[in-house]
């Protein structure tokens, strides 16, 4: 059965290490017959949540930016891949801003398979656990979200450092097995 996969790339660098892992995941997913789309968050205008809670009464956010489009896609797919470089042992601002802005409709993001991709200069997976826990904190608020896999792109500081690393093959295989 073909699935719809949405890859959310939080990398501020096109072709950065976490973004390269996203591409590998997508190649695997498409080869397996799934529909896959990547949203490069840097290219979207997504404002910070201002905590006005206008969404509480309206059902949608009062801000007029690209988040409404991204949120529609998150609601419509079967699987969501959330990818971020690890900065100071946590996710980057682009990904955190996206997560915060789901507040207006997060209860509609139901029954999703969730995949996490992280990349960092550090070579220890445990150095990335705060980032994974941040993702898990978000997904614990979603109804029936199922964590399906994590890709750790370790030892990746400069653009392209992840190439040739086991994480590239792991991302491809995980995409194939969505």
What's the pLDDT at 18?
A: 96
CATH number, domain at 172?
A: 3.40.50.360
Instruction: List, for residues 109-148, the tens digit of each pLDDT value.
Output: 999 999 999 999 988 888 899 999 999 999 999 999 999 9
Note the pTM of the prediction, 2 decimals: 0.96
Average model confidence (pLDDT) across the chain: 96
Strands 90-91 and 79-87: antiparallel
Instruction: List, for residues 17-62, the tens digit of each pLDDT value.
Output: 999 999 999 999 999 999 999 999 999 999 999 999 999 888 889 9
What H or E segment, with its residue span, contains residue 72? Answer: helix 67-76
What's the pLDDT at 125?
A: 87
Q: How far apart are CA 78 and CA 14, in angstroms?
A: 25
What's the pLDDT at 21?
A: 98
Domain extent, residue 55, equals 4-176
The tally of domains found in the chain comes to 1
Instruction: List, for residues 52-70, the tens digit of each pLDDT value.
Output: 999 988 888 999 999 999 9
Residues near 129 by Cβ (< 8 Å), separated by ≥ 6? none
Helix, strand, or coil (residue 119): strand
């Amino acid at each position: 059965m073909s699935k719809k996969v949405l890859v959310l790339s939080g990398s501020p660098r096109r072709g950065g290490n976490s973004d390269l892992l996203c591409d590998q995941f997508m190649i695997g997913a498409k080869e397996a017959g799934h529909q896959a789309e990547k949203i490069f968050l840097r290219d979207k205008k997504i404002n910070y949540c201002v905590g006005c809670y206008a969404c509480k009464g309206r059902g949608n956010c009062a801000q007029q930016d690209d988040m409404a489009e991204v949120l529609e896609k998150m609601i419509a797919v079967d699987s969501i891949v959330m990818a971020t470089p690890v900065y100071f042992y946590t996710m980057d601002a682009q990904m955190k801003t996206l997560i915060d802005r789901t507040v207006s409709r997060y209860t509609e993001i139901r029954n999703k398979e969730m995949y996490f991709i992280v990349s960092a200069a550090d070579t220890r997976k445990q150095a990335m656990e705060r980032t994974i826990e941040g993702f898990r904190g978000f997904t614990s608020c979603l109804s029936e979200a199922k964590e399906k896999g994590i890709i750790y792109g370790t030892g990746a500081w400069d653009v392209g450092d992840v190439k040739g690393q086991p994480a590239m093959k792991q991302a491809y295989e995980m995409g194939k097995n969505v």
